[in-house]
Amino acid sequence: MNKTAFKHDRPNDSAGFLLWQVTSLWKSELEKVFTSYGITQLQFAVLASLKWFEEQHQETTQAHIVEHAKIDKMTVSRALRKLEKLGWVARERSNHDGRALGIGLTEQGKDKVNQAIVDVEAADDRFFAGLTEQNLSTYKDLTVLLIQSRMQL
C-alpha cells in the first residue's frame, strides 16, 4: 500500500488547488489586457482603487489602498512609485492628516484607468460567461464570505 502526503483522493477535491487553477486561468486572460497598457495586474488594482475612491469623493492615502485592495504596504508603495514615473498618479500632503500623502490620479492616469477598467470588465465578462447568473451570484457571495473570514484572523 502506497502512503500519500495528499489529503484528497482527487485534485478537484482540494479547494486550494481549484483556487490556484481558476486564479491562474483568470490572470492569464487579464495579462493580455495589462500588457497592452504596459502595467501589471497589481498596478491596475492600485489604479482602480484610486478611481473608486475618487468616484466616492474620498481622499486617498496609501493606507486606504492597502485596506481596499488587500495588498501589503511595501508592494503598494513600489506600485505607486512606478505609476508616478509613468505620470499616472501624483502624491501631495493630505488635507486631513499632515503626516500622510494624499494620492490621486493625474489626467493621463484617469484616461488610462478608465480605458483599462472597460477592457478588464469585458475580460471578466468573457471569463465568467460559463456561469449562470445564479452561479455567479453564489460565487461572489462565497468569495466575499471567504475574504471576510480571513480578515477576522
Q: Which of 7-11, 50-54, 98-102 has the lowest mean pLDDT?
A: 98-102
Distance CA 50, CA 68 (A): 10
- Average pLDDT in the chain: 92
pLDDT (0 to 100) of residue 94 = 67
Report which of residues 80 and 13 the model is more confident about. 80
For residue 14, pLDDT beyond 70: yes
Amino acid at 48: A
Domains of the chain in start order, with CATH, are 17-151 (1.10.10.10)
Helix (H, G, I), strand (E, B) or coil at 101: strand
Average of per-residue pLDDT across 54-72: 93
* Cell digits of residue 137: 451570484
pTM, entire model:
0.85
